[in-house]
Structure 1
Amino acid sequence: MVSLKAVSNSTPLIYLAKVSKLNLLKKLFNEIIVSEEVYEEVVLKGKERGEPEVYVISDFFEEGFIQKEETRRPKRKSRGLHEAELKAIGLCEEEKIGHILVDDKEAFELAKLLGLEPWRTSSIILKFFELGEIDYHELRKTLQDLSSAGYFMTAEVYELILGRARS
């Protein structure tokens, strides 16, 4: 599966770094592309705020696994979506990349409508389990760590993920 590229929005990168799982993205993709806005939000503003995960994420930019791409103005407008989310979707379309890492509900739904394959942070963690990169105990702990770090996940989603892992 490592021959794929993906475009990422900010939230998956931030939270995967917070729970020390960002490195596992290399098991799913050979390259992650982000817009300039995502780079600014994650790296530049993260450094200003003193966020510890920014240094882990910065290392991935330095090694070239995560790359920043210039994007044009989004092709579409959508109430409820930030420009960075629209640009991430636009980057998928421009670069003909089918996978997008995004947690925002509206962006997730728009990506699906456009024929993209959106992945939420929680589903990425489940994929790590399915690939054998983490065991069931680590899956549970990682989901709990995500929640403790501020990632919003309903109890229903938490149980759904654990149920899929048990089956």
Structure 2
Amino acid sequence: MEAISNSTPLIYLAKVSNLNLLKKLFNEIIVPEEVYEEVVVKGEERGEPEVSLISDLFEEGFIRKEKARRPKRGLRGLHEAEGKAIDLCEEEGIDHILVDDKEAFKLAKLLGLEPWRTSSIILKFFELGEIDYRKLRRALQDLSNAGYFMTAEVYELILGKARELKG
């Protein structure tokens, strides 16, 4: 299974040391050139520590960049990279998109895609047994500490789902 990704899921999964677990969910991650530019090129310029983890996955071929062929989506509130990621899903016939932005998430659903937020990806790692409940809680707390926006209700909802899965 393949997925298209926007910037924030890659950045935040790297920040909480869960980026490599994407290999348990997908065979390949494809990003638009704009995402590569934002995450790797500009991240290196800013000296972001998570860039090396992301770059390693590009070097090994798990993540690859692709040029979206469509012109930029002209939708208000949607950043260029998010629009290009959605375009790539449609161009490549890939249903899964990793995206956190609220407007991009809603548009992806509207277009019949299957959007995954960073927080739901971490829950999926728990569901697959790749992380335990303690590591799930720690990852969610680390996400929040790293600047990822998650309401207390969403945090509790994720932990509630994990408790249900744990049975």
TM-score, normalization by structure 1: 0.96
Distance 1:74 1:102, change over 3 A: farther
Question: Which residue pairs with 2:47 in the alignment?
Answer: 50
In structure 2, distance between residues paired with 1:117 and 1:109: 10
Amino acid at match of 2:112: G
| CA distance 1:162–1:74, shift in 2 (3 Å) | farther
Q: Deviations over 1:10-42 (max 9, x none)?
A: 000000000000000000000000000000000
In structure 1, what residue type is equivalent to 2:51? V
Give distance in 2, aligned partners of 1:144 and 1:8. 22
Supply the RMSD in Å over aligned alpha carbons.
0.8
Identity %, equivalent residues: 84
- How many positions carry a matched residue from both structures? 164
Q: Within 2, Cα distance between the matches of 1:74 and 1:139? A: 39
For 1:60, the equivalent position in structure 2 comes to 57
Q: Distance in 1 between matches of 2:45 and 2:70?
A: 26
Deviation string, structure 1 residues 27-74 (Cα, Å, up to 9, x no partner) = 000000000000000000000000000001000000000000011234
**Match of residue 89 from structure 1:** 86
Mapped pair 1:130 → 2:101: no
TM-score (norm 2): 0.96
CA contact (8 A) 1:6 1:31 kept: yes
Partners of 2:106 and 2:71 in 1: how far apart?
Answer: 17
1:75 CA drift (Å): 6.3
Whole-Å separation in 2 of the counterparts to 1:39 and 1:147 = 24
Write the distance in 2 (CA, Å) between the matches of 1:106 and 1:136.
30
- Identify the residue that residue 22 of structure 1 maps to in structure 2: 19
User: Following the alignment from structure 1 to structure 2, what is the Cα–Cα distance between the partners of residues 155 and 45?
Assistant: 31
Q: Secondary structure at the match of 1:139?
A: helix
> Which runs of 5 or more structure 1 residues have no equivalent in the other structure?
none
The corresponding residue for 1:120 is: 117
Given that residues 73 and 84 in structure 2 are in contact (C-alpha distance below 8 angstroms), is that contact kept between their aligned partners in structure 1?
no
Unmatched tracts of structure 2, length 5 or more: none
Distance in 2, Cα, partners of 1:160 & 1:74: 38
Letter in 2 for 1:34: V
Residues 74 and 83 of structure 1 are in contact (CA less than 8 Å); yes or no, is this contact kept in structure 2? no
